[in-house]
Amino acid sequence: MKNIDDAFSFFKQLLYRGAIATVTATAVLTPQLTPPVAATIESSPKEIVDQVWQIVNNEFVDRDFNNSDWLAMRQTALAKDYDNQQEAYREIRRMLRSLGDPYTRFLSPAEFELLTNQTSGELSGIGVTLTIDSVTGKILVSDTFPNSPAALAGIRKGDFIVKVDNQLTNFMGLEQVSQALRGEIDTQVSLEIQRGNQVFTMDLIRSQVHLPSVSFSYRDEGSIPVGYIKLDEFSSHAAEQMQDAIAQLSEQNVSAYVLDLRDNPGGLLFASVDIARMWMEKGSIVRTIDRKGGDQQFFANHTALTNAPLAVLVNEDSASASEILAGALKDNKRATIVGSRTFGKGTVQSVHTLNDGSGLAVTMSRYYPPSGINITNHGILPNVQQELTVSERNRLEINPSLMGTSADPQYVSAIGILTNTVLSERERSNNPISISQETANTF
């Protein structure tokens, strides 16, 4: 069973995940991104402390506040004097720690901006995915976004970023480099790129970049054509990207689909519901219950885009909105779930803009899959459990392009299941059960 430290470590891992070096929503989020009341330099530190207290007091799912004296905590916090925002932020984090919930978190203005970018699926920058090269320790371009400034300028996967605006990146962390690449639209950033033995400089103009949540491809798997879809997170654009992926693969007459939710930490609640409806014609998707017992249920609404056989890949880092989708597809017998037990994140957070531009995510409800089980700390158990060995996991982590290929054992298992399903359906359609005339007349 995961403890709070494990969950918080997971939160921090996602918060500064190297893939796009922006905050990732670790919980199912219900955004409350209203403009700050007074986002000015005059916003007092004490005002922010009280604003956080009020939101938690009104929304936190545990009405006993983890058996802490929440009212006394406010009195203590407001009795203090704060010389600056950082002192107030430390006090806020102290208050929130008493709740014992790693997902009720305070975010500094910089962290909150990153979270907003991630869940909106947009940011202002050059459009690259960065990682740290495991051999050299250098900042490596692992991908570029289509039609982004980086892609249009010719930056390639495998390039090293040596300098950003004359600053050597080997003295910067991944997050620092990512922040340096982001900036206002139409501003310039200068890069020194190493490609093999070549080193050259490029000047790029930042623009608004749409972060892809969905990637997909057609796979010829011998007996059957398969549509492979990788969903990285449930951003505000994820549903429309998923719809486009299914439509394009359907036009190529795929016989089955593999939906890869591995390492997907979650995102927006409504994105998970919308995507579930693309695969499910009917049935319950998820149920949420708040602190007052308020019950909200979401159902499929007869708008499925395909009824083709489906396998879903999950692992221990498939969390939150991923678990909503996987749970709905499993419990409604719409898909076969393949992989390892999921993370076990069964709560919903609302996200609030605070008066100084910082933010607060507060756990406001718990969610339950159609089966009604509590997945917190337990996760979703796949229909077909297949754990990767340490060497298999390391190979896929070092070279993510191997995911969803014959070098990926969980994908291979999914293809085997889908092949059997499709061939069995073909056999039944080619050899329908004959009905005798005598039997037919009794109908």
- Which two structure tokens, joined as six digits, stand for 268? 């927006």
> Can you list the positions of beta strands (E) in 222-269?
224-231, 256-260, 267-268
CA distances to 236, 253, 278 from 248, rounded to whole Å, are: 20, 9, 14
Q: Determine the residue type at 130.
A: L
* 159: annotated active-site residue: no
At residue 233, φ and ψ (nearest 5 deg) are -170, 160
Q: Where are the domains of the chain?
A: 1-121+211-426, 122-210
Q: Cα–Cα distance between 25 and 114 in angstroms, integer?
A: 10
- Per the DSSP assignment, residues forming a β-bridge with 209 are 123
Among 177-181, 227-231, 281-285, 407-411, name the one with the lowest average pLDDT. 177-181
Instruction: Please report, to the nearest 10 degrees, the dihedral formed by the alpha carbons of residues 300, 336, 229, 271 taken in order.
Output: 30
Q: Which residues pair with 284 in a beta bridge?
A: 299
Q: How many CB atoms lie within 10 A of CB 307?
A: 10
At 249-296, the pLDDT tens digits run 999 999 999 999 999 999 999 999 999 999 999 999 999 999 999 999
Report pLDDT digits (tens) over 152-205: 999 998 999 999 999 999 988 887 898 899 888 999 999 999 999 999 999 999
* CATH 1.25.40.10, applies to 122-210: no
Query: Taking the alpha carbons of 9, 14, 15, 21 in that order, is the dihedral positive or negative?
Result: positive
Is residue 138 flagged as an active site residue? no
Count other Cβ atoms within 10 Å, centred on residue 59: 19
* 289-338 pLDDT per residue, tens: 999 999 999 999 999 999 999 999 999 999 999 999 999 999 999 999 99
Min mean pLDDT across 63-67, 132-136, 218-222, 420-424 is at 132-136
Concerning whether 163 is annotated as a catalytic residue, the answer is no
Q: What is the pLDDT of residue 10?
A: 40
Grouping H, G, I as helix, E, B as strand and the rest as coil, residue 398 is helix
Catalytic residue among 143, 274, 331, 356: 331
Which uninterrupted H or E stretch holds 190?
strand 188-195
Q: Across residues 135-149, what is the average pLDDT?
A: 89
The one catalytic residue among 320, 340, 350, 365? 320
Architecture of the domain made up of 1-121+211-426: Alpha-Beta Complex (3.90)
Question: Per-residue DSSP letters for 299-339?
Answer: E--S--S--S-EEEEE-TT--THHHHHHHHHHHTTSSEEEE
* 63 phi/psi in degrees, rounded to 5: -70, -15
Q: Kindly provide the residue ranges of all beta strands, DSSP E only, lying in 113-270, ordered along the sequence.
A: 122-125, 128-132, 139-144, 160-164, 167-168, 188-195, 198-205, 207-210, 214-221, 224-231, 256-260, 267-268
Percent of the chain as helix, strand, coil, to the nearest 5? 35, 25, 40
Token representation of residue 109: 């203005």
Give tens-digit pLDDT for 338-394: 999 999 999 999 999 999 999 999 999 999 999 999 999 999 999 999 999 999 998
Among residues 322, 345, 356, 358, the one annotated as catalytic is 345
Amino acid at 124: S
pTM of the full structure: 0.78
Check if the beta carbon of residue 364 is closer than 8 Å to that of residue 348.
yes
Distance in angstroms (rounded) separating the CA atoms of residues 135 and 127: 24
Question: Is the pLDDT score of 25 beyond 50?
Answer: no
pLDDT tier for residue 115 given thresholds of 50, 70 and 90: confident
Mean of per-residue pLDDT scores for the chain: 87
CA 38 – CA 189 distance, rounded (Å): 32
Can you read off the two tokens belonging to residue 170?
Answer: 């080997």
